[in-house]
Amino acid sequence: MRVLAVESSCDETAVAVYDGPRGELLAHRVHSQTEVHAAYGGVVPELAARDHMRRLPLLTRQIMMDAGLGFEALGAVAYTSGPGLAGALMAGAAFAKGVAASRGLPALGVNHLEGHILAPLLGDDPPAFPFLALLVSGGHSQLIEVQGVGRYRLLGESIDDAIGEAFDKSAKLMGLGYPGGAALSQLAKQGDAEAIRFTRPMINRPGLDLSFSGLKTAVVNAVASGASHADVAASFEKTVIDTLVIKLGRALDQTGLDRLVVAGGVAANRPLRARLHAMMIERGGAVHFPEIELCTDNAAMIALAGFLRLQAGERDPAAGFCVRARWPLNALTPPGAVG
């Protein structure tokens, strides 16, 4: 079964084709809307939805050419049905359902967070279940015990800002544009990570929840006091990573797991990857990351998650469709259990 997948939950329009039985990603493309939203310093939902509508037809034609396939070679269509911006999700869902209906193909709405967590399965070194997942993106910071596909237990999450959001807000403050997570990390290379001693949030509190709004305020104050932006960036990045190392150590101890998966846009952060790699070697375990380009939003991960459920017989209801702006991972069930 070859699956065409569409991702449109936020500000990337993405399309992919995945050959499920062969486990082969045939093609994937991501069109970033950064330019559309840059002037506003954040994503404007209405503009995001319109741009998805505008881009999807051509992007899909291109992806079929990349894959060297005609539409008759497809077996199903998967699309992100949540969580995300409602209008943006609707644009992708309507397009995907239209393609499916015109070709008589089954369609399935996929959970974006499940896509992120399963993305390392597309790589050369796929993790075995069970594992601990750290999902760190612009909208989510969660620690999840993953027993299998669709078997997720939330262990802890940020009680305020997501980590990507903290990166982006700090970057914006330093004039690094939006979304500035990667730019902040770039700037941090030139700074001294010990220059500013930020308090590591929540490490003295028991449990596995996270909090980053206090750190964000500390960054505001450091910048206002005239500290070097490179030093602020380096100290901020190190504080975030230190905090994650402590919380992840606790979660691994608590669950007895020795495999870690890190996914979501912030998983593209090189210093984070290096520290977690060292940490897992020291613990005698292993860490798995998606390929860098599959950390941020993409449709390859949606194609994979969709395939795993479609092959178990899951399909959208015959009539209508719904998108879910909120759709927590622990609401999911294993493939084939519903649908």
Closest to ligand KG4 by CB, 182 or 246: 182
Q: Is 81 in the site for ligand KG4 (CB under 6 A)?
A: no
Q: Which residue has the tokens 């497809």?
A: 74
CB of 269 to Zn ion, least distance (A): 14
Closest to ligand KG4 by CB, 2 or 28: 28
The pattern of x and - marking residues 283 through 312 that bind Zn ion according to CB under 5 A reads --------------x---------------
Closest to ligand KG4 by CB, 138 or 306: 138
Q: Is 51 in the site for Zn ion (CB under 5 A)?
A: no
Q: Is 137 in the site for Zn ion (CB under 5 A)?
A: yes
List, as one string, the DSSP characters of 54-72.
Answer: HHHHHHHHHHHHHHT--GG
Which neighbouring-strand residues pair with 77?
A: 4, 107
Return the structure tokens found at 330.
């622990």
Contact window for ligand KG4 (CB under 6 A) among 19-27, 44-52, 131-139, 251-259: 131-139
- What is the amino acid identity at position 261? V
CA distance 265 to 137: 5
CB of 241 to ligand KG4, least distance (A): 10
* Counts of helices then strands in the chain (DSSP H, E): 10, 10
List, as one string, the DSSP characters of 277-320.
Answer: HHHHHHTT-EEE---GGGTSS-SHHHHHHHHHHHTTT----SS-
- What is the amino acid identity at position 4? L
Q: Is 110 in the site for ligand KG4 (CB under 6 A)?
A: no
Q: Which segments within 107-171 are labelled E, that is strand?
A: 107-111, 131-136, 141-148, 151-157
Number of residues binding to ligand KG4, judged by CB under 6 A: 18
**Which residues inside 176-215 make contact with ligand KG4, applying CB under 6 A?**
179, 181-182, 185
Closest to ligand KG4 by CB, 101 or 274: 274
CA distance 93 to 339: 17
Binding residue for ligand KG4, selected from 138, 150, 290, 306, defined by CB under 6 A: 138
Binding at 1: pick from Zn ion, ligand KG4, none (beta carbon under 5-8 Å per type):
none
Which region, left, alpha or beta, applies to residue 80 given φ > 0 means left and ψ of -120 to 50 means alpha? beta
**Which residues inside 254-313 make contact with ligand KG4, applying CB under 6 A?**
264-266, 268-269, 296-297
CA distance 115 to 288: 15
User: Which residue ranges make up the site for ligand KG4 (CB under 6 A)?
Assistant: 10, 137-139, 164, 167-168, 179, 181-182, 185, 264-266, 268-269, 296-297
